[in-house]
């Protein structure tokens, strides 16, 4: 690897500007390829960000010996073949959520990295970089809640028929692997699981209540979780809401309870009043930054995660969000889908994260 880090971005859709801008903000990094199956999309990003080379074939990017790393911003179903091929070609990989659309692809990606542990493989969950989320995780680690009893996440958002029809892969089992659970809600399912230490088992169900004839997957879902810490958890999500975007994470323990909505505390109630005041102040003091690119609900974490990924390559260390860690939320969502089909509780696959 040369002193200059050279990156190829594969997939030039709606999330790609967050990646182009994130990499270009890092000193000593050049984006040398823009790749998309639709040539116009690649050409548009190349013009916008002064990228010298474009292609419709990701294999051309991987064949370039000067490329050190790639960022995958394509549809869910293509993540696994691109990531597996990139790791085999000796490229460091950053992959957008959801890492995979099915269990087999997820396992193939993890196995490919185990064959090349010298490479950095990160999974995008940019909200782990949100200051409020980190503050909540610190409170859990400090045992501020005592024994956690219940933990829950709610995601309410709206996606129109036009949104789903804009790309053929959206709202399909093959291309997306699901819908609201694996796409919009998975960000905050990951936050919940990361904060409390993961899920051991899940039992869930889903339905399509408002998008019949538009998608074959779900626009509403609910699940119960057995968490690794011993507590019970719940997930409730929909993309058919009258709300444009709202998420809430609730932690209830023997010594305290806290609700976080859209990165702001709704309540902080603790047996020790001083803890309540301190927790509320800690979360309320979290700065809010303007989103540089992308949709407002992406937050500001992409730039921080990409900077960490670049630093991990240079420092020869794992990234803050490894693909192995990111795989847990994906495995949990895929378990919920299988639980609905089989009508029973199922264990969540443990990849040894």
Contact 282, 296 (CB under 8 A): no
What is the separation of C-alpha 206 from the centre of its chain, rounded to a whole number of angstroms? 20
What is the separation of C-alpha 88 from the centre of its chain, rounded to a whole number of angstroms? 23
Q: What totals of helices (H) and strands (E) does the chain contain, helices first? A: 11, 14
SS3 154: strand
Measuring CA to CA, which residue among 249, 165, 180 is closest to residue 220? 180
pLDDT digits (tens, 9 = 90+) for 225-253: 999 999 999 999 999 999 999 999 999 99
Q: Using the Cα atoms of residue 113, residue 118, residue 124 and residue 127 in order, give the sign of their dihedral.
A: positive
- Domains of the chain, CATH where assigned: 5-127+302-321 (3.40.50.720), 130-287+329-347 (3.30.360.10)
pLDDT digits (tens, 9 = 90+) for 72-108: 999 999 999 999 999 999 999 999 999 999 999 999 9
* Sheet strands (E) in 104-239: 121-123, 148-158, 199-207, 220-227, 232-238
pLDDT digits (tens, 9 = 90+) for 245-298: 999 999 999 999 999 999 998 989 999 888 888 887 888 776 655 445 555 656
SS3 43: helix
Q: Which helix (H) or strand (E) holds 340?
A: helix 323-342
Query: Cα dist. 326→46, 175, 277, 306 in Å?
Result: 29, 19, 33, 15
Residue with token string 């005592």: 146
What pLDDT does 291 receive? 47
d(CA 195, CA 252) in angstroms, rounded, equals 13
């Amino acid at each position: 690897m040369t002193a200059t880090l050279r990156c190829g971005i594969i997939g030039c859709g709606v999330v790609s500007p967050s990646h182009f801008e994130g990499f270009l903000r890092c000193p000593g990094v050049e984006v040398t390829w823009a790749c998309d199956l639709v040539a116009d999309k690649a050409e548009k990003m190349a013009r916008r960000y002064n990228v010298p080379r474009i292609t419709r074939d990701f294999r051309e990017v991987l064949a370039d010996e000067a490329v050190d790393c790639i960022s995958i911003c394509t549809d869910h179903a293509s993540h696994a073949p691109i990531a597996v091929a990139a790791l085999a070609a000796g490229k460091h990989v950053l992959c957008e959520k959801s890492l995979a659309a099915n269990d087999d692809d997820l396992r193939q990606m993890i196995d490919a990295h185990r064959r090349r542990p010298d490479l950095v493989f990160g999974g995008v969950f940019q909200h782990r970089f949100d200051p409020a989320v980190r503050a909540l995780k610190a409170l859990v680690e400090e045992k501020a809640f005592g024994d956690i009893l219940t933990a829950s996440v709610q995601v309410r958002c709206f996606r129109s028929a036009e949104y789903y029809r804009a790309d053929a892969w959206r709202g399909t089992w093959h291309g997306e692997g699901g819908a609201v659970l694996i796409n919009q809600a998975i960000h905050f399912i990951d936050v919940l699981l990361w904060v409390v230490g993961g899920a051991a088992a899940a039992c869930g169900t889903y339905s399509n209540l408002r998008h019949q004839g538009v998608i074959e997957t779900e626009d509403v879902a609910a699940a119960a979780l057995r968490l690794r810490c011993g507590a019970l958890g719940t997930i409730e999500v929909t993309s058919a809401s009258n709300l444009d975007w709202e998420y809430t994470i609730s932690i209830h323990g023997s010594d305290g309870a806290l609700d976080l909505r859209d990165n702001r505390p709704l309540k902080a109630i603790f047996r020790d009043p001083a803890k309540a005041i301190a927790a509320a102040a800690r979360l309320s003091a979290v700065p809010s930054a303007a989103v540089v690119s992308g949709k407002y609900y992406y937050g500001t974490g992409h730039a921080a995660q990409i900077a960490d990924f670049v630093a991990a390559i240079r420092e020869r260390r794992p990234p803050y969000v490894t693909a192995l860690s990111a795989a847990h939320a994906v495995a949990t969502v895929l378990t919920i889908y299988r639980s609905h089909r089989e009508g029973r509780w199922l264990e969540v696959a443990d990849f040894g994260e």
